[in-house]
């Protein structure tokens, strides 16, 4: 089957691919997007959205069970209907993915259902679910095929006892005991979900800390709060192998000279994600990949082959949906000849634990090797609105250049940190000084006053501490 020529075919409809498609259509490009599974990709189907739906539900459950006495509210006995919780989660996913389908229709983007392969520069072959094949000529191709969980050979996923994040979003029963291998953000988020719902959760981490990309001081503060919530962490510990015996998993671990075996109902392996490029035909058309399989691109998201671009998780860097989206928009605007720039320094990231941890810009450990810095800290325990909410764990930390006062990084551990980081992101994007933020009005009473106070604290001018 031969088709009329597209201006752009995108392979993969995750947040990188579908957003690139919409921007391309806005710019007048005749656009198609090939997707072999579900519109919305990892993020909408098995990542950000379902995990946040479960984090929200489990947090409400935990609050009702333990948290309202001090508000003078008693709720009697609280029970869990996990099936219903999962139905709501699936419903949230469906609303979001239906939204993408609607936007494709509205923007006249063709959804080519099936697996995409670059048959030649300028031709994408789509193998439909029924096995039929179609060749689609196109002027440009954007590869947005995303990532998948890394599997450790000695802990092979069996989708029943040894799980990836995907299965951990749909367990039909609360496991009595769960071992999470990996203390990154997916491990601590999903560990939090099941811990709140009643599992005994042990996190094994190869390093000596959780959340390696986060500021060390803030990650340690969060770790202590998670420990108080009942999650156990074992650091400098390697999960060596896992064997299913009956309906339990025996996990062998090693820590220094010590070795041991821990039994659990489920083992969740969250040790990172790998790029997905299988079946794309990259080798045949000489698109370069690096040692880990990521596709290298230049600042215009061009691969080494003309008119073939790549964006999102498949090119590496921070594996975040909003990073993929910005790259998608930039790549397409670049195709249309616009000047483009993605400022990765101002890319925020959030860990949706309770409390949330959000950051933008440099960590203290990276900022101080670049030059002299000054730091302002403000605890939520001194913030009026946090007290009113009875949600006072955590703090805001503002790191500024000691000579210029320019904000280098902002870290927020506390209630609604995921939303509060937006102001910090603007401050970093617009190269604000700590004084700019400290002297800006912040409505009272709000959690955002903690950010103003931390910015004032950079020059020891905080008012409420």
Query: Does the footprint of ligand FAD cover residue 280 (CB under 6 A)?
Result: yes
Question: 324 with 20: CB under 8 angstroms?
Answer: no
CA distance 66 to 212: 30
Q: Are strands 162-163 and 266-269 parallel, antiparallel or unpaired?
A: parallel
Which of 142, 221, 319, 455 binds ligand FAD (CB under 6 A)? It is 319
Query: Does the footprint of ligand FAD cover residue 312 (CB under 6 A)?
Result: yes
Query: Does the footprint of ligand FAD cover residue 213 (CB under 6 A)?
Result: no
Which of 14, 376, 394, 415 binds ligand FAD (CB under 6 A)? It is 14
Does residue 444 carry a catalytic annotation? yes
Which of 279, 365, 444, 465 binds ligand FAD (CB under 6 A)? It is 279
Interface with ligand FAD (CB under 6 A), residue total 36
Which of 10, 11, 204, 395 binds ligand FAD (CB under 6 A)? It is 11
Contact region with ligand FAD (CB under 6 A), list: 290-298, 316-324, 385-393, 452-460: 316-324
Backbone angles phi, psi at 452, to 5 degrees: -60, -45
Query: Does the footprint of ligand FAD cover residue 282 (CB under 6 A)?
Result: no
Structure tokens at 38: 């579900």
Contact region with ligand FAD (CB under 6 A), list: 64-72, 85-93, 142-150, 390-398: 142-150
Q: Are strands 31-35 and 110-113 parallel, antiparallel or unpaired?
A: parallel
**Per-residue burial over 223-262, b = 16 or more CB atoms within 10 Å of its CB, e = otherwise:** bebbeeeebebbeebebeebeeeeebbebbbeeeeeeeeb
CA distance 452 to 76: 40
- In the complex, minimum distance from the CB of residue 162 to ligand FAD, in angstroms, rounded to a whole number: 16
Query: Does the footprint of ligand FAD cover residue 12 (CB under 6 A)?
Result: yes
CA distance 199 to 464: 40
CA distances 460 to 133, 378, 444, 456, 465, Å, are: 67, 11, 21, 6, 10
Q: How many CB atoms lie within 10 A of CB 369?
A: 8
> Closer CB to ligand FAD, residue 31 or residue 145?
145
- In the complex, minimum distance from the CB of residue 200 to ligand FAD, in angstroms, rounded to a whole number: 21
Which letter does DSSP use for residue 2 in this model?
B
Query: Does the footprint of ligand FAD cover residue 35 (CB under 6 A)?
Result: yes
| 115-134: contacts with ligand FAD (CB under 6 A) | 115-116
Set 71, 338, 444, 464: catalytic member: 444
| 43-62: contacts with ligand FAD (CB under 6 A) | 43, 47-48, 51
| 337-366: contacts with ligand FAD (CB under 6 A) | none
- In the complex, minimum distance from the CB of residue 429 to ligand FAD, in angstroms, rounded to a whole number: 17
The DSSP result for 405-461, as a single string, is: -BEEEEEEEETTHHHHHHHHHHHHHTT-BHHHHHHS---SS-TTHHHHHHHHHTTT-
Site string for ligand FAD, 401-440 (x = CB under 6 A): ----------------------------------------
Ranges of H-type helices in 67-153: 82-106
Run of H or E residues at 49: helix 48-66
- In the complex, minimum distance from the CB of residue 177 to ligand FAD, in angstroms, rounded to a whole number: 21
At 225 the three-state DSSP class reads: helix
Which letter does DSSP use for residue 129 in this model?
T
- In the complex, minimum distance from the CB of residue 109 to ligand FAD, in angstroms, rounded to a whole number: 14
Q: Is it true that the peptide bond before 324 is cis, omega within 30 degrees of 0? A: no
Query: Does the footprint of ligand FAD cover residue 379 (CB under 6 A)?
Result: no
Listed in sequence order, the residues at least 6 apart from 423 whose beta carbon sits closer than 8 Å to its beta carbon are 437, 448, 451
- In the complex, minimum distance from the CB of residue 329 to ligand FAD, in angstroms, rounded to a whole number: 12
Query: Does the footprint of ligand FAD cover residue 21 (CB under 6 A)?
Result: no
Query: Does the footprint of ligand FAD cover residue 449 (CB under 6 A)?
Result: no
> Closer CB to ligand FAD, residue 7 or residue 35?
35
Question: 140 with 21: CB under 8 angstroms?
Answer: no
Which of 321, 386, 398, 424 binds ligand FAD (CB under 6 A)? It is 321
**Interface with ligand FAD (CB under 6 A):** 11-17, 34-37, 41-43, 47-48, 51, 115-116, 144-147, 165, 186, 276, 279-280, 312-314, 319-322, 324
Q: Catalytic amino acids?
A: 444
């Amino acid at each position: 089957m031969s088709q009329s020529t597209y201006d752009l075919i995108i392979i993969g409809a995750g947040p990188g691919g579908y957003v690139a498609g919409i921007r391309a259509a806005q710019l007048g490009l005749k656009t198609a997007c090939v997707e072999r599974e579900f519109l919305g990709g990892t993020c909408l189907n098995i990542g950000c959205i379902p995990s946040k739906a479960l984090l929200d539900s489990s947090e409400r459950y935990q609050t009702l069970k333990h948290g309202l006495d001090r508000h003078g509210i008693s709720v009697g006995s609280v029970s869990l209907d996990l099936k219903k919780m999962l139905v709501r989660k699936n419903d949230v996913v469906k609303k979001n993915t239906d939204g993408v389908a609607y936007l494709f229709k509205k923007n006249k983007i063709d959804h080519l259902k099936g697996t995409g392969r670059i048959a030649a520069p300028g031709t994408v072959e789509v193998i439909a679910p029924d096995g039929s094949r179609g060749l689609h000529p196109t002027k440009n191709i954007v590869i947005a095929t995303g990532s998948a969980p890394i599997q450790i050979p000695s802990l092979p996923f069996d989708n029943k006892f040894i799980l990836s994040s995907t299965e951990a979003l749909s367990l039909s029963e609360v496991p009595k005991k769960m071992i999470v291998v990996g203390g990154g953000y997916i491990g601590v988020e999903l560990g939090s979900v099941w811990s709140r719902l009643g599992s005994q959760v042990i996190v094994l981490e190869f390093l000596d800390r959780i959340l390696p990309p986060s500021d060390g001081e803030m990650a340690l503060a969060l770790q202590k709060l998670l420990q108080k919530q009942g999650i156990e962490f074992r650091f400098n510990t390697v999960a060596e192998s896992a064997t299913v015996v009956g309906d339990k998993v025996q996990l062998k671990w090693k820590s220094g000279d010590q070795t041991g075996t821990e039994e659990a109902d489920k083992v969740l392996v969250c040790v990172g994600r790998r790029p997905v490029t299988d079946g794309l035909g990259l080798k045949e058309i000489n698109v370069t990949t690096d040692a880990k399989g990521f596709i290298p691109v230049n600042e215009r998201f061009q691969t080494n082959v003309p008119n073939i671009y790549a964006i999102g998780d498949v090119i590496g860097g921070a594996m975040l949906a909003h990073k993929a989206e910005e790259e998608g928009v930039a790549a397409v605007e670049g195709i249309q000849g616009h000047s483009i720039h993605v400022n990765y320094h101002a890319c925020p990231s959030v860990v949706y634990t309770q409390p949330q941890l959000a950051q933008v810009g440099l960590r203290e450990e990276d900022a101080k090797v670049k030059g002299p810095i000054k730091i302002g800290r403000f605890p939520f325990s001194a913030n009026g609105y946090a007290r009113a909410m009875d949600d006072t764990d955590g703090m805001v930390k503002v790191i500024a250049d000691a000579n210029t006062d320019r904000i280098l990084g902002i870290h927020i551990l506390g209630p609604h940190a995921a939303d509060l980081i937006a102001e910090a992101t603007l401050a970093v994007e617009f190269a604000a000084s700590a004084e700019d933020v400290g002297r800006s009005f912040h409505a009272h009473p709000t959690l955002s006053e903690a950010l103003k106070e931390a910015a004032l604290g950079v020059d020891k001018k905080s008012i409420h501490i």
